[in-house]
A and B are shown apart, each in its own frame.
Chain A
Amino acid sequence: MENKTINQENENVVVFEKVTVRFGTHTALEDISLEIKKGLFITVVGPNGGGKTTFLKLILGLLEPTLGEVKVFGEKPLKNLTQAIGYVPQIKTFDRSFPALPIELVATGLTGNWIGILSKEQKRLALEALEQVGATNLAKKPLGKLSGGELQRIFLARSIIRKPRLLLLDEPASGIDVAGEMDFNNILEEYKKRQNATIIMITHDWESAYHHSDYVLLLNRVKICYDEPKKAFSEKWLRIAFGHLGHAHEMIFGVKNND
């Protein structure tokens, strides 16, 4: 893994081939074909209900495509990819009444299972991961008492503790303040460099997508575009993806695009 050749650099981490997902009669994703190369920071942008979470769940193997095929590291998902993939879920699923400490949640990233009593080594690794996301101070605070942003850091620590080659994040920045978000993005970029990892992040924050990602996937049921941020955040594509909201891009990117 250390001496990477040009070939490996071009390795496809995720491949979608004519993928369609239907829930009953509702089509969440339609005819998506896509190749994501190794070592890139991808952001996925699109309106609510545009199929972004569905897209991630296909990669995780939590959902099967109705039509077409998904391959991750050249294999069908759900086949021993646990160690290679880290996942930060959309936060709403979390149950605050469950008695647990952040350090325990982080350690589940190691074993893929809940742990009764942490070993010394597991504790050390969990603390190390917490340190990487700047959350050492939260290690022993009850999970139920953390703020949304603090919790997101814990989930991030949990996802990087096994040093995955592919990191999937579902709106990790929701509930994080501006300074915290810049910090969060820097942590991700640093992780990507250190592990030569691929990152796929869903976000509603166009500005951070614009600045931090190598490629942007605009998704609204169909693949609208998969391109560099400068091209993806053009008025044309945004208008197709978001309808009338597309003009908002001028407010955010107008100046930068004219550079």
Chain B
Amino acid sequence: MIDMLSMTFMQRALIAGLLVGFLGSYFGVFIVQRKMSFMGDGLAHAAFGGIALGLLLETEPMWIAVPFTLIISIGITLIRDKTSLEMDTSIGIFFALSVALGIIFISLRKHYTTDAFTYMFGSILSVNTSDLIISSIIVVISIVLSFKFWRKWAYATFDPELAKADKLNTKFDDYLLSALISISIVISIKLVGIVLIASFLVIPAASARLLSSTFFKMTILSVIFGLISSLVGLFLSYFLDLPSGATIILIQAIIFFIAMSLKK
């Protein structure tokens, strides 16, 4: 155990896993209660377009993917607000557009490397120190903001009309939430992979929902489930030599089924 912790890449993976586990399970409670599960998938695929552009330009893909995904998330919310289209339709449009752009960007690259594959399925090995620094900053920002905004987001999740009647600026709050979710998704991609990222946002929160009578308990429980899954999943993936993201999700799913059976 000590031996393993002394290996820097495993240390990085654990820290990254806990950060990503925290972000997914914390923002997941809003995603699940606002019935935006599709949003996680949509934004992860939006990030793919940004990553592919980064690879094409031969810069650090994250620096392109973060603003790219942010713009798409704002676009999704704008279309929902300005037209009579539902959120899922709006997500579906940007989902397809981003993937199409991503495929075109990748096809434009002269030499093919396997890194695009890494982003699809995630890998511990790809997590570097600068990823950790970015994730830590986002986690600190979300924790600080959540003291102020958890209540507002919770209230608007329960009923946007009531929140508006109580003079909350739900529009601003929604954009802020979408922005933080987009950034969280992008920084989770290296570890978890685009294909599986939505589960980080959905499974711990859904398990917590089954066992909670209040939204506050649901939030706490979801974060606990998220952290435990990341920790156990990463150790398992190390000892059994399995892909990290997929193993963590297996643990999340096991917790979900236990929660379901406890619910009877």
Contact = CB atoms under 8 A, between A and B. Distances in A.
- Most B CB contacts (10 A, CB to CB) among A62, A89, A105, A113 go to A113
B159 interface: yes
A78 interface: yes
Interface string B207-228: 0010011111110000000000
Contacts of A117: 216
Nearest to A80: B167
B157 interface: yes
B241 to A, nearest CB: 39
Interface stretch (B9-17, B50-58, B59-67, B146-154): B146-154
B106 interface: no
B162 to A, nearest CB: 7
A82 B167 contact: yes
State the main secondary structure of chain A at its contact with B. Answer: loop
Contacts, number: 68
User: Which of A78, A99, A142 has most chain B Cβ within 10 Å?
Assistant: A99
Interface residues of B, number: 24
A113 B164 contact: no
Interface string B133-167: 00000000000000000111011011101101111
Nearest to B166: A112
Interface residues of A, number: 27
B237 interface: no
B168 interface: yes
B37 interface: no
A94 B159 contact: yes
Interface of B: 33, 150-152, 154-155, 157-159, 161-162, 164-168, 209, 212-218
The 9 closest A-B pairs by CB, nearest first: A112-B166, A114-B154, A114-B155, A116-B216, A113-B151, A114-B151, A98-B158, A99-B212, A60-B165
7 contacts: A94-B159, A98-B33, A98-B157, A99-B218, A101-B214, A112-B168, A114-B152
